[in-house]
Amino acid sequence: MRRKVIIDQDTLGPAGTNLQAVALLLNAPEIEVLAITVPTGDHWRDQQVRHALRLLEIMVRTEIPVAPGAEMPLASTPATVAAWEAVHGKLVYNGAWDLARPGRWADPREVCDLPEGNPKSPPAAEAASDLIVRLARRHPGEISLWCGAPFTNVALALALEPRLPELIREVHFMGGSFAPATAAREFVQNPRREFNLRFDPEAARTVLRAPWRRLVCAPIDISQNERATPDLFARIARAGTPLAAYLDRFGRRDRPMWDEVAAATWLDESLVTRFDDYFIDVNLHHGASYGDMLSWDPGHEPGQGERRARIQKHLDDARFYEAFVALCSVQP
């Protein structure tokens, strides 16, 4: 029986780490993707939904619903972030609210034409959190939640159905940061700060403290130095598929493969050569470390509701790159 998964992803596109991870999951023959749920994250929800729908059209997978999720985090707003920055300094990256970056705008309902072509397929009429709950009730104990986005959609689903951790098989998420070995400006000064958790800290706290059967964390540490090189895309292009042509044109060269690593290691956990178990949480004190990841070795946690998670620590780089090329080269 194929493994069932709901993909909760902020599908900034075209291509890039967000959608390249989705493509890996869609092309894995042993996986049944039940839905893609999209919150605001790297861009506004409505624009990202359009990128996801277009990818499904390119891959001829339009039977999969794309459900619009949360337009805003549970508590944070551009105004609250600006007030925090006035005291504690500018965030290096702020996703949809990073209006100084090209292709960002202030109105969450505004959308623009897509470079890869506009989708003809409509999004699902059902809200993301409702869809997650409905599917979990229909398939109790069978569905994995693969999360590459801020946790807003999942937190809202938990509010609708407190039994969700009993109904879901596991949560596997890309997010958090411990001590990444990198010179990237985003992490040098603040190694515990990672966008997916920082964009909606209250949602992250809610989800990470829920009593899931299994919680697996693919942090920045394991993926920051993996790069989508021109050679990888050249190898994929030889497959001659619509996805290969899309990646050849829009794939982000020499960028970290954060979400692709999280997708590949959920598909094949043997790509991870070392795991650790930590208790993890998110800092909600509104000081300089608001939204940063917290962690403790077992036995040292404060016991205020933190949960134990399996943390990916080291990756088999060569096998990961081969898996990425192979999955992106699957013939439709």
In the predicted model, what is the mean pLDDT of residues 178-192? 92
pLDDT confidence bin for 90, thresholds 50/70/90: very high
Say whether pLDDT at 171 is over 90: yes
pLDDT for res 332: 85
The letter for the amino acid at 205 is R
Of the chain, the percentage scoring pLDDT greater than 90 comes to 98
Read off the CATH number of the domain in which 33 is found: 3.90.245.10
| Integer Cα distance of 35 and 16 in angstroms | 20
**Average pLDDT along the chain:** 97
* Domain count within the chain: 1
Residue 266 CA to residue 9 CA, distance in Å, equals: 15
Q: The tokens of 318 are what?
A: 């060569």
pLDDT of residue 185: 87
pLDDT for 143 equals 98
If you average pLDDT over residues 139-144, what whole number do you get?
Answer: 98
pTM over 0.95: yes
Q: What pLDDT is recorded for position 1?
A: 85
More confident residue, 332 or 190: 190
Looking at residues 166-181, what average pLDDT do you find?
Answer: 97
* Predicted confidence (pLDDT) per residue in 38-83, tens digit: 999 999 999 999 999 999 999 999 999 999 999 999 999 999 999 9
- Residue 149 · residue 85 · CB < 8 Å: no
pLDDT digits (tens, 9 = 90+) for 259-307: 999 999 999 999 999 999 999 999 999 999 999 999 999 999 999 999 9
Q: How far apart are CA 12 and CA 210, in angstroms?
A: 27
The β-bridge relationship of strands 272-282 and 307-315 is antiparallel
Work out the percent of the chain whose per-residue pLDDT is above 70: 100
- Condensed to tens digits (0 to 9), the pLDDT of residues 223-271 reads 999 999 999 999 999 999 999 999 999 999 999 999 999 999 999 999 9
Per-residue pLDDT band at 202 (split at 50, 70, 90):
very high
Q: Can you give 197-254 as a three-state secondary structure string?
A: HHHCHHHHHHHHCCCCCCEEEECHHHHCCCECCHHHHHHHHCCCCHHHHHHHHHCCCC
Domain of residue 194 covers 3-328
